[in-house]
């Protein structure tokens, strides 16, 4: 029987080289078993892990593709914003131009209406109108010497210089 302190017995065991080899092999086997069991529990479902890795890779590829598309769309968006701004400026210029043209169109339409009314009046022979035109003719001639007033025949269309002078003066 051994007497004494148990730590001395432990010390004697580790000093024996044959036993030391067995203890090292035992520790290697225990750690190996522990490592294998962790490996087994961790990688028991390798199919699921492979599936997850494939999904992760697919998601990474999709993410990179979307990042590329975002950059491309951002560049297109900048181009469209610049083009839209320039078109808005052109639209503003064209709006001003159209408003001016509308005013001119209105004045031309009014003048056309007055000329048509004057044409209707000049097509019909009216002695009072003839006297008024003769009076305007002599007043508007000013420095010129009028030798003869054109005669307007009944039913004929008046294309005399009197008509053109009156139109120029009043319209």
Place of tokens 């064209």: 94
pLDDT tens-digit map of 81-128? 999 999 999 999 999 999 999 999 999 999 999 988 888 877 777 777
pLDDT tens-digit map of 53-65? 899 999 999 999 9
Q: Considering only CA atoms, which of 160, 170, 165 is closest in space to residue 142? A: 165
Place of tokens 């087994």: 40
pLDDT tens-digit map of 31-53? 999 988 887 777 777 778 788 88
pLDDT bracket for residue 9 (50, 70, 90): low
pLDDT at 147 over 90: no
Lowest pLDDT segment from 20-24, 69-73, 89-93, 153-157: 153-157
Maximum distance among all Cα pairs of the chain, rounded to whole angstroms: 171
CB-based contacts of 19, cutoff 8 Å, min separation 6: 13
Chain-centroid distance, C-alpha 8: 89
Angle between helices 161-170 and 46-123 (to 10 degrees): 130
Cα dihedral value 42, 45, 49, 51, nearest 10? 180
Ramachandran region, residue 146 (left: φ > 0; alpha: ψ -120 to 50; beta: rest): beta
CA distance from start to end of the chain: 147
- Considering the entire predicted model, what is its pTM? 0.36
Burial class of residue 160 (count of CB atoms within 10 Å of its CB; 0-12, 13-18, 19+) = middle
pLDDT confidence of residue 167: 47
- pLDDT > 90 in the chain, percent: 38
């Amino acid at each position: 029987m051994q007497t004494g302190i148990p730590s001395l017995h432990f010390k004697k065991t580790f000093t024996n080289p044959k036993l030391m080899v067995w203890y090292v092999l035992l520790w290697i086997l225990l750690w190996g078993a522990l490592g294998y069991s962790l490996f087994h529990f961790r990688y028991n479902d390798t199919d699921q892990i492979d599936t997850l890795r494939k999904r992760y890779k697919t998601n990474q590829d999709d993410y990179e593709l979307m990042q590329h598309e975002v950059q491309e769309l951002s560049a297109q968006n900048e181009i469209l914003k610049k083009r839209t701004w320039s078109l808005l400026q052109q639209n503003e210029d064209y709006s001003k131009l159209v408003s001016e043209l509308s005013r001119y169109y209105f004045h031309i339409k009014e003048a056309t209406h007055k000329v048509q009314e004057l044409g209707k009046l000049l097509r019909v022979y009216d002695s009072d109108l003839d006297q008024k035109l003769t009076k305007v003719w002599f007043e508007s001639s000013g420095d010129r010497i009028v030798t003869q007033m054109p005669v307007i025949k009944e039913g004929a269309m008046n294309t005399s210089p009197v008509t053109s002078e009156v139109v120029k003066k009043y319209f």
